[in-house]
Structure 1
Amino acid sequence: MNIMNRFIKFLIFGAFLFLQIFAKAQEPLSEIFITLAGDTVIIHPVVITDINSKIKSISQRVNSINKGMVKNQEVVRVDSLIIADKLLITEENSRIEGIKEFVTIKNIEDLKREWSAYHDQYTGLQENITKRTKWFESELEYVNIEIQTWRLTKKALKNEKAPAEILKRIIATTNELKKLKKELKTRQSEIFIIQNDLADLLLKINVISVNLDNTMSELQLQILIQDSPFLWNALDSTVQFARLKHRFNESLGENVRVVNSFLPKNKTRAIIHFIIIIIIIILLFVLNRRVRLLKLPEGEKKYQNIKYVLYHYIASTLLLGLIITTWLYPDIPTSVRELMVLLLLIPSAFLIPVLAKGRVKQFLFIILFIFFINEILFFYQAKLFFSRIALLVENAIMIWVIYKIIISQKRTKSLLLGKWWIWIIKLSKLFLLLLIASVFSNLFGFMNLAVLLNKTVVSALLFAIVLSLFVIVVNSAVIILLKSKVLQQSKIIFKYSLFIELKIFLIVQITAFFLWLRAILISIGFLTNVYNWLIELIYHEWEVGPISFSIIGILGFFTLLIATYIVAKAIKMFLEEEIFSRVTLPRGVPGAITMLTGYFIVGTGILLALSVAGIDLSKFSLMAGALGVGIGFGLQNVVYNFISGLILAFERPVQAGDTVEVGTLLGVVKHIGVRSSTVRTFDGSEVIVPNGNLISNELVNWSLSDKRRRREVKVGIAYGTHPQDVLDLLAKVADSHKNVLKVPKPLCLFDSFGEYSLDFRLLFWVPLDSGLTIQSEVTMLVYKALEEAGMHIPFPQHDIHIKSFDPTVQKTVF
């Protein structure tokens, strides 16, 4: 019985379970969940009515993916570069290890620059390959989702007993997607291999760069270390000659290699450089022709120098063309840069007569020669005995030159052109001490220090010469350009040419000063150190409570504010002088445009300055609310006047140049500002009037619609004169004056019978700016005409009728 009961229970449970499974099987598959890239994606089957359009869309996407999988030129180039550069990097690393014995700071700088270029190149390639990898990941994710979607769709349609043709299309689409997935994974693996090789190359390049940095630091630390024997113990001619020859071959080979690698990489820049030089030489040639036609003062030294500089336009072009390499080739190798500096000696030698006269000119030529010898000397090895003797002789000559400059400072200043030579002469005592220190360093074997001190002085003086000539050439060209007929057509240049000259001269001098500092640091090999130190300093952030600031933020803030002010003033001047003076616009429109443009520039500049300073404006919402309350109370007059200024700009009831009368104030509006306007009275005083007064109070604008004003002359004629004759005479007088306007026509009126005269009025219109003068002249003409016509102007008189006299008075009077 128990067995039977258990059997029945088992059958019931089995039947129940079967029914549940059958019921589940009958339910349509609605969705599944899959995980891709850590995210859960819900997949729904495709509705049978959308299958055809969905398959068409997938077919188009598959074609697009197949096209994208084709190896593009970038991937092929990267693949070939990796294969070639693996061997190149290994060879270069071995070569660097081999030349460490003879390497100098100059060589290290070139190598660092070269490997930095390699690093930048491969970093860019790595970014492109990373983008390619992400594309493959995205497409694989899409394909996986579509495969799961069509699997789910196939199961759902089987349960619904869909047509066999549809199921076949689904199976074909699924197979195509699976094939595409396999191909994508294969290509993705290839990209991963390239990406891995790139990472290995970058790692090797970073290791080499670190080694170069360490070598540079070691060389710089050796400056204060005795690296050579005493000079009197260093003579060994056989060994020295062999080392000299070996060093020459090493240096020559290294320099040739650097130059050869530099030229192919800078073809585009070289073409641009050549075009700029052609433009400069044409410009200076034209200016040379132009200066002959201009009648310049013969006695002034400035114009004599201009003629000399432009006459030697080829040397001037070469000077400018070589100096601009600083901007055109920011990563120029040291060997190429030194070649450029040597070439600078040629135009400098031609142009020195414009910089100095007499004996000082000879000193400058000596400095050029010493620099040339220096470059040849340090091409070899400064630690060689031959080089040390040459350095000793150089220092002796330079000490003599600087000593002569010191003992005759006043005469030297008078013979040198350029204000900054005053500071160079003041530094001459320091230069003298450095040269003496270089001599002792050479004698006692501190050759790195001796070379550093010598190069500091010689480079400072040479680049002072070169950049002084640069300033003279640029200033000469600017002066003649501003005097040209083409530029003189500009009203701004015509009116403010001297002001523009001075500002350009200031900019050129500041530029030359920073180029001078940069050139000295490059010459002695400390530019990178100083640059890195400055970058670290100015970008370092200091925190004071919740506020953080940096030097670069403060400098950027004030620089942008100053630049905003300059740009706003320049654009205002340009609009007023160049645009609105040549274009006819409705009254007041030019002033409104100028004002609103100024507001826009200033507002934009302030926002940019705050952004550069690192101030987050979103954090000032509470402050803005408090400021709004403050404006509502304490600053309401300021805001009121500001809004009034905007109303004046748009409504234009008043503009600069108008003659206005506000209360007892009568004068000409000189300027309409943000908060107030300036009115110049006819007595010469300038009154600051808040803009709100011009809007809220009654204002008389004598020149709102036109610049005409009616004037009046009153005259009284003796009784007995015919009134019509007087009217005709007054009309004739008004018509005879050339400045009295004919329209409206002058009006003559017989006003009244006065106590002792017939009263007349002469009304006439005159230009506003000369009304008082014309009124006075017309009055004089009226008087003259009346006198000629015999018409008398009576004076006040009274008749007295005496009825009776006091006897005493009668006896006294009569």
Structure 2
Amino acid sequence: MKYCRLSCFFFLLFYTGVLSAQTLEQAKPQSTIEKDVSEPEKQAPEEPVVKKTAGIPVMEISDRAKETHITLNKFKANLEPDTDILTIKEQLPRFLYTLRKSQSDWFYKSLNSLNTRKLQNLRQEWDTNLEKLNDWEKTLSGRARKLGEDNSRLEEMSELWKITSESTIAGEAPEVILNRVSSTLNDINEIRTTYLATIKKILTFQDQLSEQQLEITKLIGLISEAETQSRRQLFAHENLPLWKAFQAEANIPEFGDQLRKCATNALQMNKVYFQANIERLSLHIIIFVTLLGLLVYFNERNKRNLLFDETDETLKESAFFLSYPFSTALLVSIFFSIWIYTNSPSSVNELLILLVVIPVLRLVRGIFSLELRKLFYFLTGLFVLIILEGIVGNYILLQRLLLFLVTITAIPMFAWWLRPGSSIYQIKSRLSYKSVLSFSIFMMILLIFSLATNLIGIFPIGHVVISGMMTIIYLSFAIYVIAKALDVLVALLIRRHSIQAFPIVQTYARQIERITIFFIHLVICFVWIRMVLRTFGIYKDVWDWFSKIVDNKLALGTIEISLGAVFGFIIILFISVILSRVIRVILEAEIFSRLKLPRGVPGAISTLTRYTIIGFGFFLAISALGVNLGKFGLLAGAMGVGLGFGLRNIIENFVSGLIIIFERPIEIGDTIMVGDVFGNVEKIGIRSSTVHTFDGSEVIVPNANLVTNQVTNWTMSDRQRRLQLPVKVAFGNDPHKVLELLLKVAREHSGVLDLPEPQAFFNGFGDNFLDFTVYYWVSDNILQTKSEVALGVHDTIKNAGIDTPRPQGDFNLRIIDSLEKLQKKDKDKIIP
């Protein structure tokens, strides 16, 4: 057995070797053949075979020519530039001229002499310019790519028709066919020429953009370096003391010329900017003229007492602002210019700030007291000096001189303000008194610090502190005036006669006004915060820090959630809820009130619309959170099984709410009785409904109880209810007269319906009374009507002399009681 196994093993080994050898022998000739085939290719390579495109058959030329002309018409339409391309062609030369003009200005030659805020404004301005150029480049690249694809197709078509022309000439085709081929080929070549010229222009524009982008990128780098250097030198003692700087300055008499030159440069920059942004300037002018026209119109109507229906303090302020229509319109339009002139140059911002001074000085008369107005006028003068100090640019000595004037003027004013016996000590509110006193002392310290640093030559830190504080103080006053003006405009638009005609305004006027003013004040607060950060030159740093925190992602398994996504989730849900409420109010107040819809349909539409908007907003919020909706659907399906068992009652109430909405067995306003609860339905929600009982309480009833339990709806088909009043009179009264009196009382009551008519019946005889019942129908005020009818029956029966029955037991008891009293009196007489 052992030898048999060894023999089998060697036999298999030998057989495997034979098979391998045969395989190698079979593979060898194949490789040899491939080698023999490849070697001749290396020795004598053949030229590539070009497949020549065949021409169009003669019989198909007419149809193909028609198709070609249709295609050419589409290509002609593609040559028409869209709005973005037209805008680029129109604005690009002027924009490039503006950029080159700005790059040659004086302050780019002395960046290291500018303060941090000026450098930040410049960097922001050039970042905006670079972003605009990048957007234009993307638009031009897309346009060039599309035209290039069309040109390739035109080239193929031209080659095809050229071959067709050669084949038709060689084949001696009819002259008509030859002319058709020739005209088609000429049309193709003509459009190709136009395409090539258009592509050439676009490539030229792209080259200009690329060149300018490189220059701007270099300039932004220089500005960033100068900004970093400026931050490091805030406390640097690099300037001479002020008195020595005057002695070292050789051109002191030319300060006026320098100031004039700076103002001229600023005006020139503004001119160039507005010429390049004429659309924004036009929009600003339109807003101003529109506001001015509205305010003048409102002022004329207010003089004739045709504007408002009521008088209060807000409307008195409205009348004051209406009396200055030009100033109010200018101030509000400048506030809106924040969103019109986005990322504008610092010179434009300074011009707008100076324009704010004019209307604010006129409007503070009706807002601040005399003492505050004096302070405001003084701050206005200092603020103008601060603006001039920012305009003078790189003239350090002139900047220091203007800052010296500001501090040397403000210190005595604040000292006078803090003197004993001044009006600051007469402020009644303790909190206001401490706030004003602390602020004044703080400003006094800053002014002295700035004056000292300026005198000894540490100019940057003093300049940043004082210019920033003065700017913030003045602009805070201005923003307060703007807020008052916007509040007045809101009151004007909501409380005037013509708007009061709308049902939604009649019902929700106060709420609309309050919510609108709240959001306006919220926007103004954000604008003020942004202004403060930009004034001190830390806006970009704070924004970058905030963006870094918001964008920081937290990994939860395969899901990454950031703080920004959470904020987006909350904001979208909040907006969805607010939007659903607004739409519900509009539907109920403006639309359903004008339409005749079946009973219950408006409530169903309103509820479904509300929850549809909220549901759609929820899915948007989930998407903003970064959760894949597909995975969320699977997760929701898996959780639905567990929730179905764990939250069975809530799911049951939810489904019952949907049944109530669609089937409408009860509606808002119905009078129902469910269990011990009896009242009017106030609200039908998706989970529960609210019933306002006649006791004045509000009962929350789960929707499942309204669907599964017995519910009595007194007003489902109609709101009419039949009431009955049992009446009993004593024997001996005329039943006919009683019936007549009962019907008279029911018919004369205003709450009883005429149809169906009231009815009275004589039911028969009781133990000691005649039994009557009066039936009548009512629609509203059921309990009150029932009580009044009962009182009317009582008074009528009593006045008619009809006796009411008395129980027999009570009558006999009185007789016995009387007999006992008589017997007692007789006994008293007998006793001596």
For residue 208 of structure 1, what is the aligned residue in structure 2? 219
CA contact (8 A) 1:677 1:690 kept: yes
Change (3 A) 1:510 1:780: closer
For residue 635 of structure 2, what is the aligned residue in structure 1? 623
In structure 2, what residue type is equivalent to 1:61? T
CA contact (8 A) 2:112 2:226 kept: no
Shift, 1:183, TM fit: 5.7
For residue 469 of structure 2, what is the aligned residue in structure 1? 457
For residue 272 of structure 1, what is the aligned residue in structure 2? 283
- 1:368 has 2:374 as partner: no
For residue 622 of structure 2, what is the aligned residue in structure 1? 610
In structure 2, what residue type is equivalent to 1:546? T
Shift, 1:244, TM fit: 3.2
For residue 5 of structure 2, what is the aligned residue in structure 1? none
1:129 to 128, 136, 140: 140
Superposition map of 1:129-278 within 5 A: 129-142=140-153, 165=173, 195-236=206-247, 239-241=250-252, 244=255, 247-248=258-259, 250-278=261-289
Change (3 A) 1:793 1:564: same
Counterparts of 2:595 and 2:184 in 1: how far apart (Å)? 72
1:751 to 735, 738, 763: 763
2:518 to 503, 506, 515: 506
- 1:313 has 2:325 as partner: yes
For residue 726 of structure 2, what is the aligned residue in structure 1? 714
CA contact (8 A) 2:682 2:692 kept: yes
Counterparts of 2:91 and 2:501 in 1: how far apart (Å)? 57
In structure 2, what residue type is equivalent to 1:330? T
Counterparts of 1:290 and 1:189 in 2: how far apart (Å)? 61
Counterparts of 2:776 and 2:386 in 1: how far apart (Å)? 87
Counterparts of 1:99 and 1:601 in 2: how far apart (Å)? 57
Q: Secondary structure at the match of 1:654?
A: coil
CA contact (8 A) 2:674 2:710 kept: yes
Change (3 A) 1:74 1:626: closer
- 1:688 has 2:700 as partner: yes
Change (3 A) 1:50 1:377: closer
- 1:666 has 2:678 as partner: yes
Counterparts of 2:266 and 2:112 in 1: how far apart (Å)? 17
1:119 to 117, 124, 130: 130
Aligned length: 758
Superposition map of 1:240-639 within 5 A: 240-241=251-252, 244=255, 247-248=258-259, 250-292=261-303, 293=305, 305-380=317-392, 384-385=396-397, 387-402=399-414, 412=424, 427-428=439-440, 430-639=442-651
- 1:54 has 2:64 as partner: yes
For residue 819 of structure 2, what is the aligned residue in structure 1? none
Shift, 1:703, TM fit: 1.1
Q: Secondary structure at the match of 1:704?
A: coil
For residue 675 of structure 1, what is the aligned residue in structure 2? 687
Q: Secondary structure at the match of 2:605?
A: helix
Change (3 A) 1:81 1:349: closer
Shift, 1:453, TM fit: 0.5
Change (3 A) 1:215 1:166: farther
In structure 2, what residue type is equivalent to 1:138? E
CA contact (8 A) 2:266 2:391 kept: no
1:94-128 Cα deviation digits (max 9, x unpaired) = 65654547655566566546645653554344334
Counterparts of 1:214 and 1:521 in 2: how far apart (Å)? 21
In structure 2, what residue type is equivalent to 1:359? E
1:602-623 Cα deviation digits (max 9, x unpaired) = 1122222222333322222331
CA contact (8 A) 1:492 1:574 kept: yes
Q: Secondary structure at the match of 2:808?
A: coil
Q: Secondary structure at the match of 2:756?
A: coil
Shift, 1:774, TM fit: 2.4
- 1:797 has 2:808 as partner: yes
For residue 820 of structure 2, what is the aligned residue in structure 1? none
CA contact (8 A) 1:656 1:669 kept: yes
CA contact (8 A) 1:240 1:385 kept: no
Counterparts of 2:87 and 2:508 in 1: how far apart (Å)? 57
Shift, 1:704, TM fit: 1.3
- 1:642 has 2:657 as partner: no
For residue 8 of structure 1, what is the aligned residue in structure 2? none
Counterparts of 1:726 and 1:126 in 2: how far apart (Å)? 99
Q: How many percent of aligned residue pairs carry the same amino acid?
A: 26
1:508-555 Cα deviation digits (max 9, x unpaired) = 332332222333344444444444444444344444543323333222
CA contact (8 A) 1:147 1:177 kept: no
Between 682-691 and 543-552, report the one with greater CA deviation.
543-552
RMSD between superposed Cα atoms in Å: 4.5
Gaps of 5+ in 1: 1-31, 35-41, 802-811
CA contact (8 A) 1:82 1:197 kept: no
Counterparts of 2:192 and 2:591 in 1: how far apart (Å)? 67
Between 419-428 and 554-563, report the one with greater CA deviation.
419-428
Shift, 1:795, TM fit: 2.5
Superposition map of 1:88-107 within 5 A: 93=103, 98-100=109-111, 103=114
In structure 2, what residue type is equivalent to 1:53? D
Change (3 A) 1:722 1:213: same
In structure 1, what residue type is equivalent to 2:268? R
Shift, 1:312, TM fit: 3.1
Counterparts of 1:137 and 1:94 in 2: how far apart (Å)? 37
Counterparts of 1:411 and 1:664 in 2: how far apart (Å)? 67
Counterparts of 1:70 and 1:710 in 2: how far apart (Å)? 77
CA contact (8 A) 1:352 1:361 kept: yes
Counterparts of 1:661 and 1:594 in 2: how far apart (Å)? 25
CA contact (8 A) 2:155 2:192 kept: no
CA contact (8 A) 1:43 1:149 kept: yes
Between 341-350 and 446-455, report the one with greater CA deviation.
341-350
1:695-748 Cα deviation digits (max 9, x unpaired) = 222211111122221111112333454544433332233223232211101112
Counterparts of 2:79 and 2:310 in 1: how far apart (Å)? 75
Change (3 A) 1:640 1:332: same
Between 250-259 and 392-401, report the one with greater CA deviation.
392-401
1:62-120 Cα deviation digits (max 9, x unpaired) = 56557867999999998999999989877765656545476555665665466456535
- 1:773 has 2:777 as partner: no
1:205-248 Cα deviation digits (max 9, x unpaired) = 32233333333333343323223112343231751516736643
Shift, 1:668, TM fit: 1.1
Shift, 1:52, TM fit: 5.0
CA contact (8 A) 1:228 1:447 kept: yes
Between 138-147 and 326-335, report the one with greater CA deviation.
138-147
CA contact (8 A) 2:565 2:625 kept: yes
For residue 3 of structure 2, what is the aligned residue in structure 1? none
For residue 42 of structure 2, what is the aligned residue in structure 1? none
CA contact (8 A) 1:244 1:381 kept: no
Q: Secondary structure at the match of 1:388?
A: helix
Q: Secondary structure at the match of 1:224?
A: coil
For residue 14 of structure 1, what is the aligned residue in structure 2? none
CA contact (8 A) 2:91 2:276 kept: no
Counterparts of 2:95 and 2:794 in 1: how far apart (Å)? 106
Counterparts of 1:190 and 1:744 in 2: how far apart (Å)? 88
In structure 2, what residue type is equivalent to 1:285? V
1:149-199 Cα deviation digits (max 9, x unpaired) = 8999999x99xxx98749997997998799689969965677656644543
In structure 2, what residue type is equivalent to 1:792? D
